[in-house]
Amino acid sequence: MVEWMPREEWVRTQPQALLAACVMVLDGEGRLLLLRYGPGQPSVGQWWLPGGMLDHGEDPWAAARREMREETGIELGPLPVLIGVDHRVDVLGTGPVLDCVFHGGTLPGGTRRAVRLSPEHDRYGWFALDELPGLSLAARLPTLTALHGAAVNGTVVCLREGVPWCGPTAPGGRP
């Protein structure tokens, strides 16, 4: 026999995870925009996509647009293009995080020079995939490679700890 549990109590027993949103934007040559975390940041010296945690009540696309504007000064269009979801078990001691990654499109050439960094970052750069192995990345290289492929091909990839586990870039091409 299954015992009845009040909804409030049942909700407290459910897994808890933080939700974050990131944006991958490309230039006309297929290079991606990465930002380097500056002094005082937990990931100082490491490069990653513009993005961050959702504010209370904010949906992932709104958070991605807000983070892009705050961290680069670039405004994204109104339509979300989800290219990936990554489940990470523990991020810097905060516990589980679910990252929603959006493709922000291909930016016109002049926009590449118009990046205005937030105090959180000290540098930005546009990188081809073959330039990434030499960088100190905040997450795994296969993560960016899979997300870049999804952005270019118009697909979505599911990641577990930054490694594709379903979609066209997963081992064996599992859908």
CATH number at residue 98: 3.90.79.10
42 DSSP assignment: T
Q: How confident is the model at residue 175 (pLDDT cuts 50, 70, 90)?
A: very low
Domain that holds residue 26: 16-173
Q: Which residues pair with 33 in a beta bridge?
A: 126
Is 11 a domain residue?
no
CB 28 within 8 A of CB 20: no
Q: How confident is the model at residue 130 (pLDDT cuts 50, 70, 90)?
A: very high
Which of 31, 18, 126 shows the shortest CA–CA distance to 72?
A: 126
User: What is the maximum alpha-carbon separation in the chain?
Assistant: 66
Give pTM, 2 decimals: 0.85
Is 37 a domain residue?
yes
Is 4 a domain residue?
no
pLDDT at site 101: 96
| Domain count for the chain | 1
Ramachandran area for residue 132 (φ above 0: left; ψ -120 to 50: alpha; else beta): alpha
Q: What is the mean pLDDT of the chain?
A: 87
Least confident of 3-7, 34-38, 143-147: 3-7
Is 139 a domain residue?
yes
- Helix boundaries (H) for 23-140: 60-72
Q: List, in sequence order, every beta strand (DSSP E) within the chain.
A: 18-26, 32-37, 47-48, 51-53, 82-88, 97-106, 121-127, 157-160, 163-166
